[in-house]
Amino acid sequence: MTVFRAGSTGAWWMYLVAGHLLLGVYYLIPVSPAGTTGQTVRVALYCTISASAAIATFAGVKRNRPQWRRPWVFLALSQVVYAIADLTFYASHYIFDHKDYPSYADIFYLGHYPLMVAGVILLIRRRTPGLDLPSLLDAAVLAVVAGMASWLYVIGPQARLTSPVLAKIASLGFPMMDLALFVVALRLIFGAGPRPRAFVLLTCNLLGILTADTIYVLQRLDGSYHAGNFLDAIWLSANLCMGAAALHPTMARLVDRAHVKDVGLSRGRIIALCSAALAAPVLMLVHDVGQSSQDVLVIAGGSALLSLLIIARLAGLVADQRKLAITDSLTGLHTRRFFEAQLPLEISRARRSDGSVAVFIIDVDRFKSINDNYGHPAGDDVLMEVAARLRAASRSGEVLARYGGEEFALLVPDAGPGRLSVIANRLRERVAEKPIPVNAGNDDIPLSVTVSVGSASFPTHGDGPDDIVVIADRALYAAKAAGRNRIAVGPEPLPAVDPDTDGAMAEFLCQVADRVDGWLHRYDHSRSVSRWAGVAAGEFGLDAPTIRITQLAGRLHDIGKVIIPEVVLTKPGALSEEEWRLLRQHPDFGYRLARMVPGFAGVAHVIRQQHERYDGAGYPDGLRGADIRSEARILSVCVAWAAMRSNRPHQTALDENRARRELWAGRGEQFDPDVVDMFLDLHAQGSIGMLRPSGLSIQEAGFPADFRPQ
């Protein structure tokens, strides 16, 4: 038999195909009397396929090296016990013609369940630490339904049989063990966490085993079971899915911790829960058909109606909550968070269809003077009216959002560069067409309100969401600098840092970075990251302004941690889920701090994206691939290298060889593979040095020579 490398891309697929081909051969061998050559070959094939799942699972664990192996070890051991059970049963049944029930094989069949349940529970605890109450409740609802059905049609009938004690124990043991496995399988499926191909294969294994076992027990009850029927195909296919799941390169991601969020009621979940709510009256009607009274019919109908009404009410409540979550309470427009979630989707859609997407940033001119002169209620009136006029000027399919205090943003699909000026002027003119009445004391005062508009489009002005927003933001600054009540389109040259006004602010952020370094490291962590990022950006072929943005983002990448309590940052043990949730916000905190410095918008976006993953499983925005800025993809590798090579409160430093292996293992998943290759080459050449002690000058950190605090 051909031996495949466990970690190779196609090993899992070839294993599945080869296994199912052998399964087909198994069914082609005719069933013949015990002891014949054909039956011996049939048993050998069955046991080979069954045992291969255990071997493949261990091979996958060894090759793919998940960070936490214990769940997979339990799953592999369960496959070993299962293979022993198969060998015992089929050798006894076919070769020795022993067909007693229960048999020694049933001891092993029952024994594999606790190992499998333990493995799945460990996966759940690793993937979704904490309670994750919504997923737990959803799984519990369906588990109760499964328990009722199992009692009515499987467990109850078995319990009422007058069979020998051992036979009754075995007959009850299988459905009860299946029910336990069903409960943990539901919890795994409904829980948060990554769902790569290996997750799908593992789920197929669990559902396949449960399906075949249930049919097996029902066939035992009605006496129709015979060895070698179609159930063998389901059992063996499920085992092959387990082996393929372990061989698949994404199996290592199944133990990645999830950022647990309240799981919303999707349409699929609502249908599943609705079906579960109706299960009780349906089972009662089916079970009592022919002997039920009118009372039973009324109760069943009333229960069904009540369940539907409750679920409809909950669905409406969920819809209202979702609307509130994405709607600004003052203006009724979408929120900035919704806008930032839609923009990458529209750009991805435009990239697939060779289309375009335009972004407009609209700012109310001299809004502060309105608040100062007429009060905040008057300012709110202005914002509501401006929002209404912008809504009237936008069209179906466009996304209009309140982007900040007095800032709005409009997302227009299929708008090329030639339409930007037309759309921007339409927005500006609609706001300025007539005064806005505001209440000042007892009088309504008409205020002439204008807006400035900056715009940019994909792919003409940028290749990703952040590029487009930064360029539109720069255009907005240019429109305001030109006298307000203006529009500007596309990139406008602005200095990276204005030394006359921004030096003190940027120098303060550098001091913040040093303060965080002092909490967490014995080295100049951020300065070293800045140095490596600059070297890598130059080698990557970025231009001089982009290299400077990369260096500045490296210097300031940890400033958001200053908002996080020091006790959390320096905690020596494992962090709680709430502490992890807080820590994961530091890129957004850093982004907001850096945006305080005019001209630092690009730097701020790189800081925000430093923990995005190439495969889309990062945070805070779940960007993937080329949607992540190239500077952030470079910074991500530099930050990871610095983290692995330094002692931290919860982890000791790795040696260079181990750190290189970890970077290599993250190629294509956590990191851009091209950046990893380049970084490792630079390290081999000696261009990526050690973490330095303190004392670098600000010029070494990437700031201009005339950059000094006021």
- Sign, Cα dihedral of 158, 180, 78, 43: positive
Helix (H) or strand (E) holding 167: helix 165-190
Peptide bond into 545 cis (omega under 30): no
Pairing of strands 487-489, 399-402: unpaired
Contact between residue 274 and residue 268 where contact means Cβ atoms under 8 Å apart: no
- Number of Cβ within 10 Å of residue 322's Cβ equals 12
Q: How many residues does the chain have?
A: 710
Q: Any alpha helices (H) in 435-543, and if so which ranges?
A: 465-481, 503-520, 525-539
Q: Identity (one letter) of the amino acid at 694?
A: S
Q: Is 507 a catalytic residue?
A: no
Residue 227's SS3 state is: coil
Write out the two tokens for 579: 């502490």
Q: How far is CA 595 from CA 468, 470, 502, 602, 704, in A?
A: 16, 11, 12, 9, 19
Tell me the C-alpha distance between 674 and 212, whole Å.
Answer: 46
Contact between residue 560 and residue 585 where contact means Cβ atoms under 8 Å apart: yes
- Number of Cβ within 10 Å of residue 495's Cβ equals 12
**Measured distance between the N- and C-terminal CA atoms of the chain, rounded to whole angstroms:** 75
Contact between residue 560 and residue 607 where contact means Cβ atoms under 8 Å apart: yes
Out of 340, 346, 406, 612, pick the active-site residue.
Answer: 406
- Number of Cβ within 10 Å of residue 681's Cβ equals 12
Query: Tokens 């092959």 label which residue?
Result: 240
Please count the helices (runs of H) and the strands (runs of E) in the chain.
26, 7
Tell me the C-alpha distance between 385 and 378, whole Å.
Answer: 11
Write out the two tokens for 404: 């900040």
Candidates 66, 187, 54; CA nearest to 117 is 187
- Cβ-proximal residues to 687 (8 Å cutoff; 6+ apart), any chain: 535, 539
Tell me the C-alpha distance between 509 and 490, whole Å.
Answer: 29
Tell me the C-alpha distance between 571 and 564, whole Å.
Answer: 12
Cα 418 from chain centroid (whole Å): 37
For 106-141, b/e burial (b = at least 16 CB within 10 A) is bebbbebbebbbbbbbbbbebbbbeebebbbebbeb
Q: Which residues are catalytic?
A: 406
